[in-house]
Structure 1
Amino acid sequence: MNNYETVFILTPVLSDVQMKEAVEKFKNLLTDQGAEIVNEENWGLRKLAYPIDKKTTGFYTFLEFKADPSVVARLEVNFRRDERVIRFLTIKQDHFAFEYAEKRRNNKGGKKQEARTQDTAKVGKKVELEEKED
């Protein structure tokens, strides 16, 4: 089984219930085919970089999963057939990308915390240096 991540954009005219229903449809399609969903992120309604079918916004959804290549082919066929999907992109992750994504998931907001910790450590070092000078 390979690691994949896919992002798909749903049309903005959908209600919240319809959007969640569409996402569940694709998640169920993956699990029915034997895929293991590792991560799901709903990025919400975002502005598109350029208009697609005269639409300037769309509901973005990100799925990370483990599956066989045949499952990805079926998923993409279903993306193409569903009128609610205006764009999609699926990529195969290599070993390093999967590890990085796992670290990113486990360390949400970690960069801000790391920056604060580093700033605090710098201040602590300055205080220690000042004490040594005395």
Structure 2
Amino acid sequence: MRHYEIVFMVHPDQSEQVPGMIERYSNTIQKDGGSVHRLEDWGRRQLAYPINKIHKAHYVLMNVEASNDAMEELTTTFRYNDAVIRNLVIRRDEAVTDESFIMKAEKESRERKTRYEERQAADKAREESSAEEKTEEAAAE
């Protein structure tokens, strides 16, 4: 069994069918004794250039260990599935299980956004409490 990294892009109108496609492709790999080491659904993203007048696509990354027969079947499935716009299959030397750079960047972006929102809420609460203190001081005088 060899290790592979697979990235495929799905037509944006077919985005709701992506989980079913992932399940089918995973079953194809696993029925010959292979395994999926990493599966990342990157979601809809802007394409670098239009493909068949399409500007967005749904991206999926899979790192798998599979037999040659399973990979031939998978590439044939990609070729004849109209929903798959592009695919890339790369043979790897070893299994990759850690997060991809894209997922790490998205996670950091989400964390930064939540920290920013928390800071904004804290600042707003501080401003409201200082405004209340000023009104209390003015009422006491």
TM normalised by structure 2 equals: 0.66
| In structure 2, C-alpha distance between the alignment counterparts of 1:69 and 1:29, rounded to whole Å | 12
Task: Report whether the alignment pairs 1:66 with 2:65.
Answer: yes
4+ long deviations beyond 6 Å: none
| In structure 2, C-alpha distance between the alignment counterparts of 1:90 and 1:38, rounded to whole Å | 15
- Larger Cα-atom Rg: 2
- Structure 1 position 56, deviation (Å): 0.6
Structure 2 counterpart of 1:7: 7
Q: Residue 83 of structure 1 aligns to a residue in which SS?
A: coil
- CA deviation string 1:71-102 (max 9, x = no partner): 2111100100111100000000024xx4xx34
How many residue pairs were aligned? 102
Where structure 2 has 5 or more consecutive residues not aligned to the other structure, the ranges are: 109-141
Q: 1:68 to 1:13 in 2, by over 3 A?
A: same
**Which amino acid in 1 is paired with 2:56?**
T
Where structure 1 has 5 or more consecutive residues not aligned to the other structure, the ranges are: 113-134
RMSD: 1.8
- Structure 1 position 19, deviation (Å): 2.0
| In structure 2, C-alpha distance between the alignment counterparts of 1:82 and 1:43, rounded to whole Å | 20
| In structure 2, C-alpha distance between the alignment counterparts of 1:39 and 1:15, rounded to whole Å | 20
Q: Residue 47 of structure 2 aligns to a residue in which SS?
A: strand
